């Protein structure tokens, strides 16, 4: 912990503010490096950011920090002027300020140890909580099932035991831990014919409710009260699915009534998969089930389930471990524990029956994939010396050597991203192969949902790091030009600016439209976005897209030109529920919007042959 931020309300004219006393911790490798000279404290507010530079020599009081501050970042400046370590608070509400906010720091792209687990665990189940994480089960000494649970406290870096109901004391082998929209966690399956909820507010498990027996299944929340469980097996021997026990059934569970409803049957056996909600329109949920193996240990491709029609289709090319990406896509890559190492990677694009196969990386099995706040995905675990980051702008991989001790990554670790953007990595194996109590935090870059601004300039640095492609097969990066292509009618691939989630905000970009039209995207979430379609000689069209259906909202003026391949300035802004889109400074569309939830913003190509090159793009509050 680098600093304790003691907060107190302060009266001032106009908007309320708070005073923050910054108290540096003692110096250490994972607090304040020896050459740390000063500290940048940045308050991320609803309207932007307020940045202060304070000394590390003594406590400092910051006055008039905006009460609209939603998060605070710290950057420790080294003697040479570089950033030695950084950290970020959990989300805040300073209208009711806490007495103290503790912020953990670590070198960017580096690991730092926290307190040890209470129990040694291989491959435990983890889920994020508002104040840390829940850790359950795993494999203990002698390959015995670990039957306990514990909670990681973000503020202190400590692990505290959690009392489990008697029914869960049979262990968690083959169970799934699912996060619901309201933050509740649900344990389904494993060696108990019941499901149990965990309440983050009370940090307690509820009473068990009878449910089917199922092991190594996939599970996903459909809405605030329902979840889907799919696949897995009906019995285990020595912690593995027994011969002939694979289940292809799916069940929708209502947590309010406890009623299970049969869903569509899978077409493939799937042991150890994961599920993702691709489309969440009321009455028309579509779920992607990805990853896992069959009973022979062979990798199986993803499947798409339409819960309304019962239709199930195989998504070819998508095998391996999986993780969600922004924009509703799913990454599949590498191989799970026990399978032969694999180098392949692919992205499941909504509605497509074939995955976009992206660039392979080094073959490996047993890695854990963790989505990061900026849209990238971290791959860590076996083997310990391979830490990689999937880059969603063009489907490539970046291998790097993190700061910190490599033993943090040995064996079958568990990992989850916390609310401050760090990744908690726990358990695994020690150097002798025994289950481990180790626990570390990995600090990615600070860019995240509350960031004030993010800029990507592919032409300047020959990369497009910071962009998120909805289809890497249609967003090539060539000679410093990041191109967005369209393969059919309407909006094709979309490139979104990773990091800031904006409700009100602005987008500005310089592009070259070589062919087709241009789409300006705002408020993009998993399966919903606002898009303004610009075609030369036609009126601008503003619509709300949910999956493959577009609801018309407004019609703007006729688009005279999109630059004919020359640099073109494009902008969009939303203020007080009003969207305005501009081309070369001229307004081409204005539209009143409902209170759209915050999302990521970006650009897309329009119509078959559409070809848009991004030279620079910025999203800001």
Sequence ranges of the domains in the chain: 3-106, 111-357, 453-620
Tokens read off for 25: 């911790």
Domain 453-620 part of CATH 2.60.120.560: yes
Of the candidates 616, 559, 550, 553, which has an alpha carbon nearest to the alpha carbon of residue 584? 559
Of the candidates 360, 156, 178, 203, which has an alpha carbon nearest to the alpha carbon of residue 255? 178
Strand-pairing partners, residue 599, are: 502
Tokens read off for 256: 């309010």
Domain 111-357 part of CATH 2.120.10.80: yes
Please tell me the predicted confidence (pLDDT) of residue 76: 86
DSSP state, residue 206:
-
Please tell me the predicted confidence (pLDDT) of residue 84: 83
Please tell me the CATH code under which domain 3-106 is placed: 2.60.40
Whether the Cβ atoms of residue 272 and residue 259 lie closer than 8 Å to each other: no
Give the Cα separation of 465 and 106 in Å (integer): 22
Spans of the chain, pLDDT less than 70: 1-36, 58-59, 281-283, 383-385, 405-410, 459-464
Please tell me the predicted confidence (pLDDT) of residue 61: 77
Of the candidates 408, 392, 364, which has an alpha carbon nearest to the alpha carbon of residue 464? 392
Whether the Cβ atoms of residue 85 and residue 2 lie closer than 8 Å to each other: yes
């Amino acid at each position: 912990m680098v600093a304790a931020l003691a907060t107190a309300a302060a009266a001032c004219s106009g908007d309320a503010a708070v005073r923050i006393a910054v108290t540096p911790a003692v110096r250490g490798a994972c607090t304040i490096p020896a050459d740390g000279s000063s500290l940048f404290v940045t308050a991320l507010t609803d309207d932007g950011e307020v940045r202060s530079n304070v000394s590390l020599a003594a406590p400092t009081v910051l006055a008039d920090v905006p009460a609209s501050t939603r998060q605070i970042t710290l950057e420790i400046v080294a003697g040479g002027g570089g950033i030695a370590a950084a950290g970020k608070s959990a989300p805040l509400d300073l209208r009711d300020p806490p007495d103290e906010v503790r912020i953990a720091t670590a070198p960017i792209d580096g690991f730092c140890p926290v307190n040890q687990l209470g129990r040694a665990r291989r491959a435990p189940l983890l889920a994020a909580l508002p104040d840390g994480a829940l850790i359950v089960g795993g494999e203990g000494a002698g390959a015995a099932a670990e039957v306990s649970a514990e909670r990681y406290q973000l503020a202190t870096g400590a692990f505290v035991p959690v009392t489990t109901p008697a029914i869960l004391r049979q262990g968690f082998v083959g169970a799934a831990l699912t996060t619901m929209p309201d933050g509740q966690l649900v344990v389904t399956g494993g060696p108990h014919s019941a499901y149990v909820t965990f309440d983050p507010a009370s940090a307690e498990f509820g009473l068990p409710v009878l449910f089917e027996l199922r092991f190594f299944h996939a599970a996903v929340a459909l809405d605030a009260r329902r979840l889907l469980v799919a696949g897995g097996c009906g019995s285990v021997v020595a912690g593995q699915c027994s011969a002939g026990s694979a289940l292809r059934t799916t069940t929708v569970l209502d947590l309010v009534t406890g009623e299970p409803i049969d869903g569509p049957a899978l077409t493939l056996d799937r042991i150890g998969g994961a599920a993702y909600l691709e489309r969440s329109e009321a009455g028309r949920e579509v779920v992607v089930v990805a990853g896992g193996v069959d009973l022979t240990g062979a990798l199986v491709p993803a499947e798409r389930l339409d819960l309304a029609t019962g239709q199930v289709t195989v998504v070819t090319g998508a095998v391996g471990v999986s993780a969600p990406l922004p924009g509703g896509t799913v990454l599949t890559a590498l191989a799970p524990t026990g399978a032969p190492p694999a180098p392949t990677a692919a992205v499941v694009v909504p509605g497509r029956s074939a995955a976009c196969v992206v660039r392979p990386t080094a073959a490996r099995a047993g890695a854990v994939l963790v989505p990061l706040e900026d849209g990238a995905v971290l791959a860590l675990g076996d083997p310990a010396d391979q830490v990689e980051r999937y880059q969603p702008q063009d489907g490539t991989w970046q291998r790097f050597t993190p700061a910190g001790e490599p033993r943090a990554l040995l064996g079958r670790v568990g990992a989850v991203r916390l609310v401050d953007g760090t990744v908690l990595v726990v358990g695994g194996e020690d150097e002798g192969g025994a289950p481990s109590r180790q626990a570390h935090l990995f600090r990615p870059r600070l860019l995240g949902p509350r960031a004030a601004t993010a800029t990507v300039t592919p032409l300047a640095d020959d990369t497009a790091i910071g962009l998120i492609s909805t289809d890497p097969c249609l967003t090539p990066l060539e000679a410093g030009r990041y191109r967005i292509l369209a393969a059919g009618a309407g909006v094709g691939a979309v490139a979104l600016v990773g990091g800031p989630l904006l409700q009100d905000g602005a987008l500005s970009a310089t592009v070259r439209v070589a062919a087709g039209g241009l789409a300006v995207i705002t408020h993009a979430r998993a399966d919903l976005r606002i898009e303004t379609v610009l075609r030369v000689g036609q009126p601008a069209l503003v619509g709300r897209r949910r999956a493959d259906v577009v609801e018309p909202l407004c019609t703007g003026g006729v688009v005279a030109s999109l630059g004919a391949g020359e640099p073109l300035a494009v902008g969009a802004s939303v203020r007080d529920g009003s969207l305005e889109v501009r081309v070369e400074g001229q307004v081409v569309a204005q539209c009143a919007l409902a209170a759209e939830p915050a999302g990521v913003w970006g650009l897309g190509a329009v119509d078959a042959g559409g070809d848009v090159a991004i030279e620079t793009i910025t999203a800001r509050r």
